[in-house]
Structure 1
Amino acid sequence: MERIRSTPRPDWRQKTEAQGLIYSTTVKDDGSTIEYWHEDAYYLFTMPEVETLETVTEELHRMSLEAARFLATGAMGDLGIGPAAMELARHSLEAADPAVYGRFDLAYDGTGPAKMLEYNADTPTGLVEAAICQWYWLQDVKPANDQWNGIHEALVAAWARRRTETGLTRLHVAHVGEEGTGEDWMNAAYLLDTAQQGGWQTQGLNIADIGWDRDAKRFVDLDDAPIEAVFKLYPWELMMADPFGMHVQDHPDAVTWFEPAWKMFLSTKALLAALWHLYPGHENLLPAYLDQPGPLTEWVAKPLHGREGDNIVIHAEGIDLVQPGQYGNEGWCYQAFHPLPDFGGNRAVLGAWVVDGESVGVGVRESDGLVTDYFARFLPNVIDAPAPVLAPTATEGSR
């Protein structure tokens, strides 16, 4: 794994915005701007590295499913979501409600075993840049090479399987309308598009516009049309804390949710402690404990429901870092401190995508500091291998 300097395309902004990446520029408090999309460098993997990481990612997913079953027993408490949400998640897990995707964050530099940092299994974003933008970058800049990126094709195929398995044909896709950058909207729009390619009839709406018909005891959209299946880019723990969550809790089988309620067991940082309890010493895990650091002398404290590096606390030799934020009341997980790989001052984290339990691609983010936060950069990836010769398909043409 190497970080290779590259010359940005002169029209990169127009191209990435046309592909849906309308949220690359962030304006900081001092008025300066920072770009999320970076193509003045790329990360180069060897094929053996990719094959190893694929195996690791799929094994971590299988282990996480076992950890979900362990958490469902209540052995580690209510995970900061409360008894009602625990019961809903347990019911969903027992029913084997269908799921689609997730993203592991891994620390890896090519010289040792990858280490799992966390699993974003409920509402992971980053699909536009990982599935689309870096693929088109490859066609323009390195067309003779392969890329670790089968995300688009995998999503389309997964949605097609969900349609066949459930017997449903119409999917509502919901996002938070108040999110101002456009990131949630574009990720939801992309998932809506892949569902369409997978054969679903689709309808987009804001999460706040999902209604409950008390007489018919069913969820409805703004036209009072019944909602049978819905993808919601909104965290389960927030939905269950809202008064609306009462209807979800009282009528768990009224609608098919993507991602399903059992993802609450995977989207909590308590998963890290559960994995270490079940698989102590596993080479791809970091020691982790719930509520206290246990034997750890250098650790990272993570709020159970934290996102984007908010409220992260790092305690290590020469380091005492506290990130701001609004999380933490729900509880904490303490994970062994493992610094991110440093590529010339650029600290990289691999976002390893999982669709239907299979490893399908990666998105690489890097930061200047110890925490991958709102100011991280996304860089494309290349495999040091020739591009596969494939017959053109409708899916590839519509990416």
Structure 2
Amino acid sequence: MERKEATRMRPTMSLPLTASEAFHAERLQHVPYVQMHQQEYCTTHAMLYTEDEIAELSIASEQLHAIFMKALRLIQDELPDEILMQQLGIPVKLLESARIPFSFSGIARQDWIKGPEGWKCIENNADTPTGIPETAYLAEQLLADSRAAVYSYETHLHNPSAELEYRLQQALGEMLDQYRELGFGRRVVCSSFANHEEDKANTVYLMRLMQQLGWDVEYCPLEELRVEPARGLIAYDRPVDIWYRLYPLEYLMDDLAPDGFPVGEAVLALAKEGRLAIINPPQSIILQSKALLAFVWACFEHHDTLSEARGEPLYSEEERTVIERYLLPTYLNETPFLEQQLPYVQKSIWGREGKGTSIYGEDGKQLQTEDTIRKVDLSECTVEEQEEVMRYYNDQLKIYQQYVPMEAAQLVTDEGVIDGFVLTGIYTPNGRFGGILPRLGGRITGDLARYCPAAVWKRTNI
């Protein structure tokens, strides 16, 4: 397994830029977190893709998005609460709001890897995806600076994420317009924790896109919001009509005010009562659950039986072909892999940044990976905080996904060689391909992974 991973290499390119040239003050206003966890996060290297790869990922990501949305509707309309709780892990506090249907999905990012059998989508980050400013803004800045030095008459360093800002703004406009048609007011408030640099930058970036559309939008930190049952969600002493939050719903539902008032449940109640519109909408918790991948795979494996019981096909023949080609076998227990002696990955359904994820070999024993890039940084936490974090993820419902070796990649820097494995994020705002977020991390991509802008050697007509 180690040799297979090492022989599949994703090409990279060192851009002709120093760190000071690449990350000057103007750019740091948009992406202030080029350094994170006491190390470089944004690099002056490009992750290279072919035109054919981008074309395939563009089509496949949109096809999978449609499949996920069809699964969402089936779950919302036909499955009882017990199934949502027991097999999809939807907490009881989120059940009612998760069932509120919206035609749009919001801003999402699928995570893909390329293995021996081609591209595979391994996760769908549909609630609070990040990485937006570096992909929508910084990538083009770095590639534009580099083109003069690497330009030739036959090739051009192309940015496959060039349309991401437009696609994000288009999706936000569609959501805002639909909320207005449903009777919500025009006051939009965007929130994250004020002291979380990365989350705030992502939030402010989207806020500016909404402001450009002519909406009344302002930023209010999560810690300054409050709920008044008679007036609703309050920011700066005024009710909020539409709320963008870079804050996971599974965290929000348990939030308490300093006086013990269940502010999270109160916010969800406002959404259920139609008094507060939320971006992404609460139904995104179903799309975010990693158990959705197990549900889709079960629909694929038992398609004929389930379709006969419903009286109509769950998925078309084309959709089943897409599932088989681009998704991995995923279950709610490890038995299928143990029986076939196949390696697999165990994931907590609300796992983030590699937390709650482990790899197991053909014998069912956990593999101890020793990657150049660590998967999770808990070094700044106390022992008690580390134990609490690990307990939170370990206590969650798990999925079990077939293990596929990831591509390796290497960055040659002045400080030395950085080896790692490539995770390719694909943004799908409201179901449309938007752009590519490559990260170089461990076999389990964590919060110490490094960002490289995606680039394509594209032939020109010159």
TM-score above 0.5, yes or no:
yes
Structure ranking higher in helix proportion = 2
Matching residue of 1:397: none
Scaled by the length of structure 2, the TM-score of the pair is 0.75
Contact 1:211 1:222 in 2 (8 A): no
Matching residue of 1:104: 110
Q: Helix, strand or coil: the match of 2:335?
A: coil
Pick from 3, 11, 14 the counterpart of residue 2 of structure 1. Answer: 11
Matching residue of 1:393: none
Matching residue of 1:153: 166
Asked if 1:329 corresponds to 2:423, the answer is no
Residues 1-399 of structure 1 aligned to structure 2 (within 5 Å): 2-9=11-18, 10-14=20-24, 17-27=27-37, 33-39=38-44, 41-72=45-76, 73-74=79-80, 75=83, 77-78=85-86, 79-90=88-99, 92-93=100-101, 96=102, 98-108=104-114, 112-142=117-147, 144-149=156-161, 150-167=163-180, 168-179=185-196, 182-216=197-231, 218-223=232-237, 225-242=238-255, 243-251=262-270, 252=272, 253-280=274-301, 282-290=324-332, 292-296=333-337, 297-317=342-362, 320-321=367-368, 325=390, 326-344=392-410, 345-367=419-441, 369-385=442-458
Structure having the higher Rg:
2
Structure 2 residues not aligned, in runs of 5+: 1-9, 149-155, 256-261, 302-322, 370-374, 377-389, 411-418
Structure ranking higher in strand proportion = 1
Q: CA RMSD in A?
A: 2.4
The number of aligned residues is 373
- CA offset at residue 245 of structure 1? 2.5
Contact 1:47 1:383 in 2 (8 A): yes
Contact 2:349 2:399 in 1 (8 A): yes
CA distance in 2, matches of 1:148, 1:183: 23
CA distance in 1, matches of 2:460, 2:434: 16
CA distance in 1, matches of 2:460, 2:454: 13
Contact 1:134 1:381 in 2 (8 A): yes
CA distance in 2, matches of 1:388, 1:199: 39
CA distance in 1, matches of 2:283, 2:408: 35
CA distance in 2, matches of 1:246, 1:327: 22
CA distance in 2, matches of 1:270, 1:134: 32
Contact 1:108 1:114 in 2 (8 A): yes
Q: 1:211 is matched by which residue type in structure 2?
A: R
Matching residue of 2:381: none
Scaled by the length of structure 1, the TM-score of the pair is 0.86
- CA offset at residue 203 of structure 1? 1.1
**What is the percent sequence identity of the aligned residues?**
25
Contact 1:160 1:199 in 2 (8 A): no
CA distance in 2, matches of 1:348, 1:16: 29
Q: Helix, strand or coil: the match of 1:266?
A: helix
Q: 1:23 is matched by which residue type in structure 2?
A: Y
Contact 2:409 2:440 in 1 (8 A): no
Contact 2:111 2:425 in 1 (8 A): yes
Q: 1:311 is matched by which residue type in structure 2?
A: G
Q: 1:15 to 1:347 in 2, by over 3 A?
A: farther
CA distance in 2, matches of 1:236, 1:80: 13
Contact 1:70 1:274 in 2 (8 A): no
